[in-house]
Amino acid sequence: MIGRIAQTYGKSPAQVMLRWGIQHGRSVIPKSTKPSRIAENLDVFDFQLDDEEIAAIDALETGRRGGPEPEDITLDKMGMPIPEA
């Protein structure tokens, strides 16, 4: 579905998800070290998802996480010493 929306706008699925986050008022912070990907991440302000597209992406929420629960991410459990600190 995200791929179909991306094709509609001539954008990548990543650009659609960045735009979705922006339209929800979230601070999206994409990461890349490749100049072409950095430019792609910035190229999300020339289109806007319509209400149906936003709702369709919102409906993908399953309530299941792909990673650890936020409360499980602690310095004690996942912290790493920083020698310079």
Higher pLDDT, 47 or 63: 47
Mean pLDDT of the chain: 91
DSSP assignment of 7-18: HHHT--HHHHHH
Residue 53's CB: how many other CB atoms inside 10 A? 20
Q: pTM above the 0.85 mark?
A: no
Residue 85's CB: how many other CB atoms inside 10 A? 4
Tell me the pLDDT tens digit for each residue of 13-60: 999 999 999 999 999 999 899 999 999 999 999 999 999 999 999 999
| CB crowding 15-26: b at 16 or more within 10 Å, else e | bbbbbbbebeee
Q: Return the pLDDT at 85.
A: 56
H/E stretch holding 34 reads none
